[in-house]
Structure 1
Amino acid sequence: MLMEADLPDDVDALRALVLEQARKLESADAEAERLRAIIEAFRRHRFGRRSEQLDQDQLQLGLEDAETALAEAEAASEAKAGRPRSDPVRKTNRGSLPAHLERIEQIVDVESNACPCCGGALHQIGEDVAERLDVVPTTFRVVVTRRPRYGCRSCESAIVQAPAPARIIEGGIPTEALIAQVLVSKYADHLPLYRQAQIYARQGIRLDRSTLADWVGRAAWYLRPLRDHILDELRRSERLFADETTAPVLDPGRGRTKTGQLWAYARDDRPWGGCDPPIVAYVYAPDRKAERPQFHLGDFAGILQVDGYGGYAALARRRQQIRLAFCWAHVRRKFYELADTSPVATEVLRRIALLYAIEDDVRGLSAEQRRAARAGRSRVIIDDLHQYLAARGRQVSAKSKLGEAIRYALTRWDGLSRFIDDGRIDLDSNTVERSIRPLARNRKNALFAGSDEGGDNWAVIATLIECCKLSTINPHQWLTETLTSLANGYPANSVGDLMPWTVVA
């Protein structure tokens, strides 16, 4: 920033200096505009056509770097201009400061209360208040528990002492809050245990990864009944979503990994105003056999909304009380891959888009209102689309990609059209697919589970953390309180009272 003393007296020199400063500002502005264009390109990848989308983790990393560079360019521009400038193009979310945060007041006052003009006494007529978010880096503390022992002078053999508080890790050093922190970091923030150990080491806390793993395993043992209770709750539901994803597991006998499966079962009745809370449960299995969902779902009777995996169809054939509803998003994907080269695929996508437009209008209405709207508006689209697919299916090779996409839809037509007559059914199974994503992120960071038991622990803890998220409950706070209750012998037949959706946010 130029000071007045730095300005030349000569007019020509002053003009040259102004032009030089203007060129510098233009250069900084051009760099900022270039970076804004990069950020917009990243955002187009996020919301653009599926074939153009980036991996979400890659996208976030790219946006972080571009936005960091933009902030640097703007800071340089502001410094050269000599003042901060308002930028209507860039709307930055500067965050909010919750009321529960501790406030540390800092008074910045004048050096003298004497008026600079007449020397009289100044009096306060107001103040400017600014709040900034501060942080104290992760601070460990040691909880010292003292238990005095008492003896009686008359009865020297009598010693009285309060019992030691119960712990999840008997004889260990962690509090339940620290165990909760390890669980949330690993299963919600996708931070492997060895990295957590490195973070603790920077604070002088030397903990082996194996020690942290021991804490996680013991916590999982305490928490497993809660996951099983959630599964029982799901089995009593009217409608469920189901999906599965791979879970690489170390196979020591062969010196490599094998492919296990994490099955997800979810309930979310909010789109039609249902009263039951949204929940999800994960179950690990070493394979993808069709009998797995039958075992997991027990005596469930109702609507099961799924993708095209044949194991669910086999389940419905064996269990007449289960009716399948299929996913239009999966149908759409198969035609989307062909849209650039096939007019038929483009026409199918147009008609599916009409169905989704109707769903946007009925989301949040009662089940009966949704059913009535679909009967009046969606049924004709479905009937015409079925005729269109059947006619085109006879005209194309069954072995072509288009033929496969048409056959995928027609062979599942009853389940795809079931939503018309039942307002509780959604158009797709995106609800459970969203619940699968955190598992995929954890898999990407942890690479694989160490054993089948590790895969099961993964399913147990992820279940509880995701249910906290669905209930908008802080998972660290909930886990801390729940682990403390379990360590103190909370009755096994009352674990339903500990569920995240029973907590008043």
Structure 2
Amino acid sequence: MPGPGLVAHVLVSKFKDHLPLHRLSGIYARHGVQLRTSTLSDWVAAGADTLQPLAREVAQRALASHVLQSDDTHLKVLDREHPNGLKRGHMWVYLGDTTWAAFVYTPDWKEEGPLSFLDKREGWLLVDGYKGYDKLFTRQGATAVEVGCWSHARRYFVEALDAGDTRAALPLSLIGRLFEVEREADEQQVEETERLRRRDTLSRAVTEQLGRWMAEVYNREPPKSPLARACRYAINQWKSLTRFMEDARLPLHNNASELRLREIAVGRKNYLFAGSDAGAERAACVYTLVATCVLAGVEPWAYLADVLEKLAQGWPQRRLEELLPPMWKAARAAASQTPSTSSAAT
């Protein structure tokens, strides 16, 4: 029977340090501890199952956030019924106020995946142009409000420039100016009202100039050219792309959620695939807590070792909030500042 510290080490090694279990088994063997990969796999499953209530709490807080960002990446999953023995699943991240990172696995890329999770979302939702989100914004009584990503829009113009069309340099320069306005506001740590004022006076003029330029170029451009593709994406997303001027807390881009997905990208290069849909769902659970630890500035192993022990000892469900990474960190900081009884008596 493993202790919580060992289970936490296995989870962090696999989902933060990207070590496949067979490689981790070899590391343990070099230290004189013989642990089969199947045993480690069982521990991963048990640990993830124990942590599921906390992952659900993170997901609820992400959904309730003022600004919710979402993106996805693929993940290979073993599937005996698939002709190739492998299928392409998807891992979605839902990042709430850059504090709560909820990962959700779906066995395919169909719209039902994000629609199911985001069904009751109210407020800002920052996403790319994936069509699977569209029903959230167009259905009757829609409560989610689409916000576009300027990094995605910029990539299409970069592709046009790389293809040899030097005209793409102008929109890239204008988009760069939008990022510069945000960078200056960040460096100067301006308040929200000042950031919104700058967006209204500086960024609005830039977007209007870009909009006029695209309207002129797009109508004269062959539909299949890289530049036409870039303009078409930005024009189709224009309303959502300019929403950042409505709320100072809206980011200009979706880079923060993409950054969280890098953990998946690095991991799949090492462990190559998930063993099943259930295994991928457990991976999503652990990724949720590890990523939220990182955002909170919490060391993942210390956190998982502590909460696994508390949960195994019957921590009350009504107090799960206290075990979420930001709250856990605050409680530990408060405890470290409280003088012990013996020192107080001295």
TM-score by length of 2: 0.91
Match of 1:450 in 2: 275
Match of 1:189 in 2: 17
Match of 1:415 in 2: 240
Match of 1:343 in 2: 166
Match of 2:89 in 1: 260
**For 1:221, which of 37, 49, 55 is the aligned residue?**
49
**For 1:330, which of 117, 137, 152 is the aligned residue?**
152
Matched, 1:313 2:134: yes
1:388-467 to structure 2, matched below 5 A, reads 388-467=213-292
CA distance in 2, matches of 1:378, 1:267: 25
- 8 A contact 2:66–2:97 mirrored in 1: no
Superposed displacement of residue 314, structure 1: 2.2
Match of 1:287 in 2: 108
**For 1:205, which of 7, 27, 33 is the aligned residue?**
33
1:231-250 to structure 2, matched below 5 A, reads 231-250=59-78
More helix by share: 2
CA distance in 1, matches of 2:246, 2:297: 32
Match of 2:202 in 1: 377
Superposed displacement of residue 395, structure 1: 1.1
SS of the residue corresponding to residue 206 of structure 1 reads coil
Superposed displacement of residue 249, structure 1: 0.2
- 8 A contact 1:293–1:315 mirrored in 2: no
Match of 1:304 in 2: 125
Report the residue type matching 1:359 in the other structure. Answer: E
CA-atom RMSD, angstroms?
1.3
The one-character-per-residue Cα deviations of 1:284-326 (angstroms, maximum 9, x if unpaired) are: 0111111221211242201000111111122211252111111
The one-character-per-residue Cα deviations of 1:158-197 (angstroms, maximum 9, x if unpaired) are: xxxxxxxxxxxxxx2x111001000000000000111111
Superposed displacement of residue 436, structure 1: 0.5
- Greater Rg over alpha carbons, structure: 1
CA distance in 2, matches of 1:367, 1:245: 32
Aligned length: 325
| Ranges in structure 2 where 5+ consecutive residues have no aligned partner | 334-346
| Ranges in structure 1 where 5+ consecutive residues have no aligned partner | 1-171, 270-277
Match of 1:77 in 2: none
CA distance in 2, matches of 1:463, 1:410: 34
- 8 A contact 1:290–1:315 mirrored in 2: no
Report the residue type matching 1:333 in the other structure. Answer: R
The one-character-per-residue Cα deviations of 1:63-90 (angstroms, maximum 9, x if unpaired) are: xxxxxxxxxxxxxxxxxxxxxxxxxxxx
CA distance in 2, matches of 1:300, 1:180: 32
The one-character-per-residue Cα deviations of 1:109-163 (angstroms, maximum 9, x if unpaired) are: xxxxxxxxxxxxxxxxxxxxxxxxxxxxxxxxxxxxxxxxxxxxxxxxxxxxxxx
CA distance in 2, matches of 1:285, 1:433: 17
CA distance in 2, matches of 1:394, 1:501: 51
Superposed displacement of residue 402, structure 1: 1.2
CA distance in 2, matches of 1:233, 1:353: 33
Report the residue type matching 1:258 in the other structure. Answer: K
Aligned-pair identity in percent equals 38
Report the residue type matching 1:462 in the other structure. Answer: Y
